[in-house]
Amino acid sequence: RARSLDPLSPIINARVGSLLIFLRRFAEAETELRKVVAENPSNLFARSDFGVALAAQGKFDEAFSQFPDVIDANTGDGAGSLAWAEALAGKPDKARSILNRMEARAKERYLDPLAMAIAATAAGDKPLALNYIEEGLREHSVYLVFLKSDLKFDALRNEPRFQRVLREVETKYATSVH
């Protein structure tokens, strides 16, 4: 609906790509996000999501060329996504290095705990990732709404602590609608 009202909006078109990623329709997301990035290469959110769509399909060389160095550009979501892509490509040491950079940066400026959780998951540190998710719950992280569908949390889905947070998020949002 939003795109029909404003078909040229880079934000709306990028979010269509994001939605397709959440639906795990990665090839379609790639197509949408490729157009957005071609029209506006400085759109960091679109580039990061484009990198995720490519990495999810195993297109790592192109994916890594899309991830901008965004630790200083946002609340850490892009850096967490890069760590996830590195782990997916079989490079957990690079994921750990990104997590270490994020932890150092978080001492100087705000990084969202769920971005930190993604990087910790990628680095193979599930307890730390779950700590960050619980911190995100306490802080009311904006990214909590994506917890159920974000593929970067797949490695945590069966963890009881993750399930507890997910239930709490679903309960809070269900009761806030009524």
pLDDT digits (tens, 9 = 90+) for 58-90: 999 999 999 876 655 667 888 999 999 999 999
pLDDT tens, residue by residue, 111-167:
999 999 999 999 999 999 999 999 999 999 988 988 999 999 999 999 999 999 999
Inter-helix orientation angle 113-122/126-139, to 10°: 170
Strands (E), the chain: none
**Per-residue model confidence (pLDDT) at position 178:** 44
What global pTM score does this model have?
A: 0.90
For the segment 33-39, the average pLDDT, to the nearest whole number, is 94
Q: Which residues contact 30 (CB under 8 A, 6 or more apart)?
A: 50, 53, 54, 57, 59
* Residue 29: Cβ within 10 Å count: 25
